[in-house]
Each structure stands twice: as structure tokens, then as C-alpha cells.
Amino acid sequence: MVPGGLYLADRVLRKLSSAAGIYVYELMVQPIADQPILLSRLVRNMEFRLIPNDDPLIATMPARPEIKEARFAQGANCFGAFRKGQLVAFLWYCTDAYREDEVRCDYVLAARHDSVFDFDLYVLPEHRLGVAFAALWQGANAHLRGRGIARSYSRVTWFNTASRRSHSHLGGKRAGVACFLVLGRLEFMVSTIRSHVSVTWGKGRARLELRESL
């Protein structure tokens, strides 16, 4: 009842105003596995690497240019999976805190020495029926594990059951839930984790501290 009611309320608000809506996120924490997800033959022709901000591939990614610029400005990294030199999937991650670009909220990592926050995982449409998703995570796990990272946090839209299921299959567990009511420049936030309640206006931002561990 609750997810369905929030979804309907969100649809109504968005019809009334393009600057209004309800965002519900399930905050997940996922272990950085040290074992392969796929058989070696399935990733034989694949490579994994960071994609720098001056790489032409960044311009092809489905986010507004100012959003991608803001991500690099806050220290985010873009990590890609390639098959025979062609990009098939990518994700972004931050090592300190992530400034959300859908709502005004900062997700702050308490254990910064061994945690990251990943976001905007994207598999190119022509590769969604293959192993690109799992391969990307296998490459990202190796990349992050080599840097001493033990866990990754992320936020998943509560209405996106497929994404929530994918995280669960990779060992992800719920760390909390946050709900945002956006009415133009005014935002209300309630969350199961600290800070539990926030009201912001204009450039003000809510703050969520991610402390739960696996």
C-alpha cells in the first residue's frame, strides 16, 4: 500500500508542476567481493578502467553536461567496462561523500577509509541481455578491493524493483530508507537514518550519515 500510494502521489504532483515530486530511496550497502562473479571465459574479451573527465566517452553518457561536470568537481570517479574496446557499461563512485543530483542531499561516509558510494550504474541498451551488468561489478570489485575498499553504499529508487533485486543478488542489504517531498525550492526529507528529518530551502542541503556496516 505505501509504495503504491507514494507512487500515485508522485504522479499527481508531477502533473501539477514539473518542479514537484516525491523521491523515495532505499539506501543499500554491498560487500566488495573478492571472488569472481562470472566464469573467466565470459570476460575474456573485456577490460575495465577509470574513464577520465577529458575522455570523449563522457560526452556520450546520458546525463546533462553540467551534472557530469559537477560529479567530477566533487571528486567522483567514472569506471567503465569495455568489450573489444567498446564501452558496454559504467558506474560512478565517490570516496568521501556524494552530493545527490536528483534532490538536495549529501550522503556522507562515516568509514571513509574502506567505503565508497556508487551511483548511476548504466548498461548500454544493446548490451542489457548479456553479462555486462555482472561483468561491470566484477571489474569494479577488483578495482575497489585493490584500493582497500570493503563495502559500497548506493541509493536505489524504491519504485525500481528490478534495480533493488539486482543489488540483493550481489549481496546488498538495506541500510535505510529516505523519502523526499520536493515542492519547487522547498524540500522535506524523512529518513530511517541520521539526520532523520530535514527541511531545506533554496541551496540548503539535507545530510545523511551512512554508518551501517555488513
In 3D space, the residue among 125, 179, 185, 131 whose CA is nearest the CA of residue 155 turns out to be 179
Supply the range of the domain harboring residue 19: 2-210
- For 77-109, write each residue's pLDDT tens digit: 999 999 999 999 999 999 999 999 899 999 999
Rounded Cα–Cα distance for residues 96 and 116 (Å): 7
Cα distances (angstroms) measured from residue 95 to each of 92, 113, 127, 134, 155: 10, 8, 28, 22, 15
Tell if the pTM clears 0.85, that is, is over it: yes
Tell me, what CATH number does 54's domain have? Answer: 3.40.630.30
Rounded Cα–Cα distance for residues 138 and 133 (Å): 9
Rounded Cα–Cα distance for residues 104 and 106 (Å): 7
Rounded Cα–Cα distance for residues 88 and 126 (Å): 8
The domain tally of the chain equals 1
Q: What per-residue confidence (pLDDT) applies to 214?
A: 52
Total residues belonging to the chain: 214
- For 29-79, write each residue's pLDDT tens digit: 999 988 888 888 888 889 999 999 999 999 999 999 999 999 999 999 999
In 3D space, the residue among 63, 66, 82, 85 whose CA is nearest the CA of residue 74 turns out to be 66
Q: Which helix or strand (DSSP H or E) is residue 165 part of?
A: helix 161-169
Hey, which residues does 90 pair with through a beta bridge?
80, 122
In 3D space, the residue among 2, 17, 187 whose CA is nearest the CA of residue 106 turns out to be 187
Mean pLDDT for the stretch of residues 135-144: 95
- For 148-196, write each residue's pLDDT tens digit: 999 999 999 877 777 767 767 777 899 999 999 999 999 999 999 988 9
The separation between the first and the last C-alpha atoms of the chain, rounded to the nearest angstrom, is: 29
Q: Which helix or strand (DSSP H or E) is residue 175 part of?
A: strand 173-183
Q: What per-residue confidence (pLDDT) applies to 212?
A: 64
131-160 burial string, b = 16+ CB within 10 Å, else e? bbbbbbbbbbbebbeeeebbbbbbbbebbe
Number of Cβ within a 10 Å radius of residue 43: 19
